[in-house]
Amino acid sequence: AQSVTQLDSQVPVFEEAPVELRCNYSSSVSVYLFWYVQYPNQGLQLLLKYLSGSTLVESINGFEAEFNKSQTSFHLRKPSVHISDTAEYFCAVSDAGGTSYGKLTFGQGTILTVHP
């Protein structure tokens, strides 16, 4: 069984400031890791994922996350946020293989609010 903990339920920042949304996971098996974003009144959208290879993954809109196996973390960062980044962000983990592949375990979500 896996679990995901997002350490901050809300993160307020000013525009153009850097931000880090923290995510830690627990699992007895190898995992794949994901960040999803949910804008108001919309469904969750995949922001970025780590499946294998480089531990640093990037999204097309400037976010990045680094898989740290020793610290069981997958923190999401952006060096300079925009008003449009205001949304709720969910960290998720999936069992890497086996019969449960594709099933996601989500964290509680972090609401990022970017102020002008």
Partner 1 sequence: GAVVSQHPSWVICKSGTSVKIECRSLDFQATTMFWYRQFPKQSLMLMATSNEGSKATYEQGVEKDKFLINHASLTLSTLTVTSAHPEDSSFYICSARVPGGNRYEQYFGPGTRLTVT
x/- string (CB under 8 A) for partner 1, residues 81-100? ---------x---x------
Q: Show Cβ contacts of residue 116 under 8 Å, excluding neighbours closer than 6 positions.
A: 14, 15, 83
| Residue 105 C-beta: closest distance to partner 1, Å | 8
Q: Provide the minimum distance between the beta carbon of 60 and partner 1 in the complex, in angstroms, as a whole number.
A: 15
Q: Which is nearer to partner 1, 107 or 112 (CB)?
A: 107
List C-alpha distances in Å: 43 to 4, 40, 46, 67: 20, 8, 10, 25
**Range 12-51, binding partner 1 (CB under 8 A):** 32, 34, 36, 41-46, 49, 51
Q: For partner 1, which is the closer residue by CB, 60 or 116?
A: 60
108 binds partner 1 (CB under 8 A): yes
Residues 104 and 48: beta-carbon distance below 8 Å: no
Q: Which residues bind partner 1 (CB under 8 A)?
A: 4, 9, 32, 34, 36, 41-46, 49, 51, 90, 94, 101-109
